[in-house]
Homo-oligomer: A and B are copies of this chain.
């Protein structure tokens, strides 16, 4: 698959895909003889994983570390696990912040509904 196709498949721009590869959160993508990127299934898997993690706010730096451990081979499994556990903790903390914020938003919205009449779209 070309970078364009992958970008459309996952909703990331080609620039972002190249950037992800450049900083190393996606391992080097296979190339055609001409030097053009030719994403295989593994590469797409990385793209999808990183899109997912980024959309949840996981930092590039943490993803670089994960990817780098991955590319260093099996000996790093334990380190990768620790990293993932740490990211999970951070993620859960952020979700808790969001839950609190959502509660507040809901209370505020209810307040305004009581104030302006119950008409809802």
Contact = CB atoms under 8 A, between A and B. Distances in A.
Contacts of A55: 97, 101
Interface in A77-121: 77-78, 80-81, 84-85, 87-88, 91-92, 94-95, 97-102, 104-106, 108-109, 112-113, 115-116
A49 interface: yes
Main secondary structure, interface of A, reads helix
A78 B62 CA distance: 42
Given A77-B112, A84-B105, 14 more contacts: A49-B104, A52-B101, A55-B101, A56-B102, A57-B57, A57-B94, A81-B113, A88-B102, A88-B105, A88-B106, A91-B98, A91-B101, A91-B102, A95-B98
